[in-house]
Structure 1
Amino acid sequence: MRNVNQICSAVLMAGSLISPGIALAHTDIAAFDQSVFAEAPETVDCTLEDGTQTTCHKLVVNYMPDGLEIGPFCPATLDDAGGIWNWTGENGKLYRIDGDFLRMLDGLGYRFFDDDGNVHSVDNATTRPTVDHACINVTPDETVEITMLVPETPVMAESPKTLGVVGKVGVALDGVPIFSDAPSIQQTGHMPALDTCGGHIDPGGWYHWHATATDIDTVYDHANVKADCGLHQDSSAQFGYAFDGFPMFGSTETDGSPVSELDACNGHTGPTAIGETYHYHSSEDFPNLPPCLVGVQAENNFSTTATAGVGASRAGEDMRIEPPRPDDGGPAGQTPPGFDKAAEKLGVTVEALLQALGDPHGGHPDIAVASKNLGVTEAKLRNILPPPPNH
C-alpha cells in the first residue's frame, strides 16, 4: 500500500499537465452550506482504491437539503411540461419532457402515454410498471441519510477513471450527491425523468444531481431548450467536489473568462478561488459533468440508510417495493457471478455495469448500447464480461 506522500509528481493527460510545482488544494469543508449536514463533518482515516492510506472528510447529509425546491419531473398529460431528458436515439439531443417530445418518442416506438393523452407515470420504489414505457417519478423518503467520503488531499490516479452510467461523480456544496448520466430509455424501457435543474429521486428515496445545476442555463442556451432552474446560476462558481477531492466549477473561470486547454476529463490546472490546483469545469453539453476523474476515490465512499437504490444496505424490514432493476443484479438484489470483477476492470460500480447491460440474468444484454454508455469498445466489454450461465 502507498502512503499519501508517495503521490506521483507529474501526470500528463490530454493536454493537461499537473507538475511538481503546483499544489493540490485540500478539500475545504467551509465551502459547503453547513446547514446541509445531518452530523458535523469529521476527518477520518480511509483507504483509497489504489491502497493509499490517507484521511477523508466524512460527510453525512439528509435525503435532500431543507428548502430545496425540486421538480417538475413527469408531466401529467401531453398538454403539460415536465422536466428534461437527454434522448440518445434517433433525433438525439436534450429535450423538455412535453407533448412534442413524447409524440416524437411514440413515432420511434416508445409510447409513454395512453389514448387520452395521460402520461404513464410510476413510482418505481413502490409500484411495478404495468406498461412497457413509463415515466419514473419517485417519492422522497425523508428518513434517509447519506454518508460520503471525500479525500482530504487529492491523489492522482495512474490513469483517468471513466464514469460511465450512474457513476459516482462527487458532492455539491449543498450536500446533494452528483452522479454521471442516468440510464437510457433504450436500456430500461422507462424514463427516470430529471427536473429542470438536472436532478431526480433515487429509488432509495433521496435526491441527487445528474448535472451541474448551478450552470445548467448554459446548457439550455446551447441546446435551445426552454427550461429554467430555480437555483442561482453562476458559470464561474464552484459547484462541489468530485469524489477524488478535486473541486468542480462552472463552465468559465472564476473571473468569468473562457476556459482553455481542458483535458479529457474536462479539467485543468490553474488559479481558483480556493488556490492554484487541478479542477474540473462543466460544459455546455448535457450532462455537463466531467466524463472521468483523474484522482483516486476512497473505498466504500458512498452509502445510505435506504433499503433500495444506489448505496443501499438492503438490510432491515419494511423494505420499499421495487421492480426488478438492472442494478439489482437479479433476485433479492444479488450480483450475478463475475460481475463484481468485471466492474472493477472497467473502473465502474457494479450498479453502473448492470444498469448499462440492462438484463444480465436474461442473457441478452445490448452490448452495443452498454459499451457506448460505459465508454469502452464492444470487443473490450465482451472480453471482460463473464460468460453466460451454462456456457
Structure 2
Amino acid sequence: MASLNHALRALLLGGVLMAPGAAIAHPDLATFVAAAFSKEPVTVDCTLENGVGAKCYEITVNYLPEGLKIGPFCPATLDDAGGIWHWTGENGGLYRVDAEFLKMLDGLGYRFFDDDGTVHVVDNATERPTVDHACINVSADETVKITMRLPVTPVMAETPTVLGVVGKVGVALDGVPIFSDAPSIQQTGHMPALDTCGGHIDPGGWYHWHATSTDIDTVFDQAKVGAHCALEQDSRALFGYAFDGYPMVGSTEMDGTAAAGLDQCNGHVGETALGVTYHYHASEEFPNLPGCLVGVQAQNNFSTTATAGIGATRAGEGGRNEPPRPDDGGPGHVPPGFDEAAASLGVTTDVLMQALGNPQGGRPDLAAAAENLGTTEAKLRAVLPPPPGR
C-alpha cells in the first residue's frame, strides 16, 4: 500500500496533485444494488494491464437488471418520439429522436424514413439493413450473462487511458455496464438510438449505458432537450465504478456545489460517500462520462455469454449479427502493423485503435488521435503502417 500511496501522491494530472495521506477508496460491493448480481461476487487472482498480479472483484450480472424499464429507442413513424442521439455533424448536438431531428438529418443527406413517414427501424442482431440509413433497435437476449472484473485496490497508471468510441468505462451500481460514446452515423451510416437514460441493447442482446444515467437530466437541461430519464436523478450520488476501480459520481460534489479542479479525465481527489479518494465526475454535456481513465484496468475484465457483440465468448454460434460497421476486417480485427505501431508509441493496441476510431475502413483524424495519445501527428504518421494497396 505504501508504494501505491507514493505513486498517487506523486501523480500530477491536469494540475491536481494527490494530497499526502489521502485515502484510497476500494470498490465497495455493499454499494451495489443487492439484485444487481446473478450470482454472489467473488475475489479472484487477476493480472492488471501493466502486467502486475493483483486481486479483483469478479461480478456477474444479467442482460438487464430486474425491474429496469428501458426504451423507447427508435420511433416507428415521424409522429412518434423515440430516445436521444448525439449528432456530431453539421448542427451538432444532443437531440430527441423525433420528426424535427430526422427531417434535419434528411436535409443533410441522411434519410431515415420513407415518404409516408415510416422510420427505417432494423434489429441488426437478426437482419441486415437494406437501406443506407436505419435506426437500430436491437432485441434483447434474456439468457445472456456478463462477467466483469474490478481491481480490489485501484492503481494509478503512468498515463491515462483514452477511451475513444465504445470504450469500456465501468459498471453502474445496478450492474449495468457503461461504455463511452457510440459509433457515429457518419462512421456506420446507421443510428443505434439511445433511450432517455442514455442506454441501448448491444448486438449480443444485453443492455448498457453510454451516459451517467443518474445525472443525465442535468445534460438535458443544459442542451434544452425535451427528455427525462425515469431513474432517480441526483447529481451528488455515486453512479458506479470505472474499470480501474475508482468511483464515478454525478456532476456536483456531495454538498451540491459544482465540481472544481478536474483533470483531463474529469476527475479529482475529494470527499465521496466512500471517503476521500480520487473519483470521476459526470459532466454537463453529452456523453457525460470520463473521456479517459487514470487507473490500470484488469486484463480480460469484460466477457459475455452472448454470441455476438462486445465481449462475446460464443461468437458465431447463435445466429446474431455483429453491428453494421465500416469495412474494418471484422469484429476485433487489428490491421497488420498496428500492434507494432502501438508498441512504439508505448500504448496498448486497443488504445491506439480507439484513438484512431476506424483506421482501415475510414479516414481517422490523425491530429485529434495524436493529441489523445499524447504524441505528435508527425510521430503518429511515421509509425503507422501505410494504407492497404500502397
- Work out whether the TM-score is over 0.5: yes
Name the counterpart of 1:114: 114
Report deviation, 1:269.
0.4
2-structure distance, mates of 1:9, 1:259? 20
Residue type of the alignment partner of 2:258: P
Report deviation, 1:367.
1.9
Name the counterpart of 2:173: 173
Q: Do the aligned residues in 1 keep the contact of 2:163 with 2:355 (CA within 8 Å)?
A: no
Report deviation, 1:200.
0.5
Taking structure 1 as reference, are residues 228 and 374 closer, same or farther at Cα in structure 2, changes over 3 Å only? Answer: farther
312-321 or 190-199, which deviates more: 312-321
Report deviation, 1:383.
4.0
Name the counterpart of 1:279: 279
Q: Do the aligned residues in 2 keep the contact of 1:307 with 1:319 (CA within 8 Å)?
A: yes
Name the counterpart of 2:387: 388
What do the CA deviations read for 1:215-242 (whole angstroms, capped 9, x no partner)? 0010000000000111000010000000
Matches within 5 A, 1:44-83: 44-83=44-83
Name the counterpart of 2:329: 330
Matches within 5 A, 1:144-293: 144-293=144-293
141-150 or 255-264, which deviates more: 255-264
Residue type of the alignment partner of 2:294: V
1-structure distance, mates of 2:134, 2:339? 29
2-structure distance, mates of 1:105, 1:187? 15
What do the CA deviations read for 1:274-331 (whole angstroms, capped 9, x no partner)? 11101111011000001111111111111111111111124463331346534x9425
Q: Do the aligned residues in 1 keep the contact of 2:178 with 2:211 (CA within 8 Å)?
A: yes
Report deviation, 1:385.
3.6
What do the CA deviations read for 1:17-70 (whole angstroms, capped 9, x no partner)? 113411211110000012111111011111111122111100111111011000
1-structure distance, mates of 2:12, 2:332? 40
1-structure distance, mates of 2:155, 2:172? 20
2-structure distance, mates of 1:15, 1:158? 15
Residue type of the alignment partner of 1:337: P
Residue 366 (str. 1) matches residue 367 (str. 2): no
2-structure distance, mates of 1:351, 1:264? 18
Taking structure 1 as reference, are residues 385 and 259 closer, same or farther at Cα in structure 2, changes over 3 Å only? Answer: same
Name the counterpart of 1:307: 307
Name the counterpart of 2:350: 349
Taking structure 1 as reference, are residues 75 and 380 closer, same or farther at Cα in structure 2, changes over 3 Å only? Answer: farther
Q: Gaps spanning 5+ residues in structure 2: where?
A: none
Report deviation, 1:388.
2.8
Name the counterpart of 2:94: 94
Residue type of the alignment partner of 1:386: P
Q: Do the aligned residues in 2 keep the contact of 1:356 with 1:370 (CA within 8 Å)?
A: no
Taking structure 1 as reference, are residues 324 and 217 closer, same or farther at Cα in structure 2, changes over 3 Å only? Answer: closer
Residue 357 of structure 2 aligns to a residue whose secondary structure is: helix
333-342 or 261-270, which deviates more: 333-342
Residue type of the alignment partner of 2:60: V
Report deviation, 1:342.
5.0
Q: TM-score, normalised by structure 1?
A: 0.91
Q: Gaps spanning 5+ residues in structure 1: where?
A: none
1-structure distance, mates of 2:98, 2:245? 38
2-structure distance, mates of 1:374, 1:40? 42
Please report the RMSD computed on the Cα atoms of aligned residues, expressed in angstroms.
2.5
1-structure distance, mates of 2:370, 2:165? 6
How many equivalent pairs are there?
Answer: 384
Taking structure 1 as reference, are residues 380 and 38 closer, same or farther at Cα in structure 2, changes over 3 Å only? Answer: farther
Taking structure 1 as reference, are residues 375 and 387 closer, same or farther at Cα in structure 2, changes over 3 Å only? Answer: same
Residue 349 of structure 1 aligns to a residue whose secondary structure is: helix
Residue 225 of structure 2 aligns to a residue whose secondary structure is: coil
1-structure distance, mates of 2:92, 2:53? 44
307-316 or 195-204, which deviates more: 307-316
Report deviation, 1:148.
0.5
Residue type of the alignment partner of 2:251: S
Residue 40 of structure 2 aligns to a residue whose secondary structure is: coil
Taking structure 1 as reference, are residues 250 and 324 closer, same or farther at Cα in structure 2, changes over 3 Å only? Answer: closer
Report deviation, 1:76.
0.7
2-structure distance, mates of 1:95, 1:276? 36
Residue 166 of structure 1 aligns to a residue whose secondary structure is: coil
What do the CA deviations read for 1:57-94 (whole angstroms, capped 9, x no partner)? 00111111011000010011111110000111111010
Q: TM-score, normalised by structure 2?
A: 0.91
Residue type of the alignment partner of 1:13: L
Taking structure 1 as reference, are residues 277 and 8 closer, same or farther at Cα in structure 2, changes over 3 Å only? Answer: closer
Q: Do the aligned residues in 2 keep the contact of 1:86 with 1:92 (CA within 8 Å)?
A: yes
153-162 or 370-379, which deviates more: 370-379
2-structure distance, mates of 1:192, 1:379? 34
Taking structure 1 as reference, are residues 9 and 180 closer, same or farther at Cα in structure 2, changes over 3 Å only? Answer: same
1-structure distance, mates of 2:370, 2:233? 29
2-structure distance, mates of 1:275, 1:240? 15
Taking structure 1 as reference, are residues 77 and 315 closer, same or farther at Cα in structure 2, changes over 3 Å only? Answer: closer
2-structure distance, mates of 1:133, 1:223? 25
What do the CA deviations read for 1:155-203 (whole angstroms, capped 9, x no partner)? 0011111111111110000100000111111111111100000000011
2-structure distance, mates of 1:226, 1:31? 31
2-structure distance, mates of 1:352, 1:203? 20
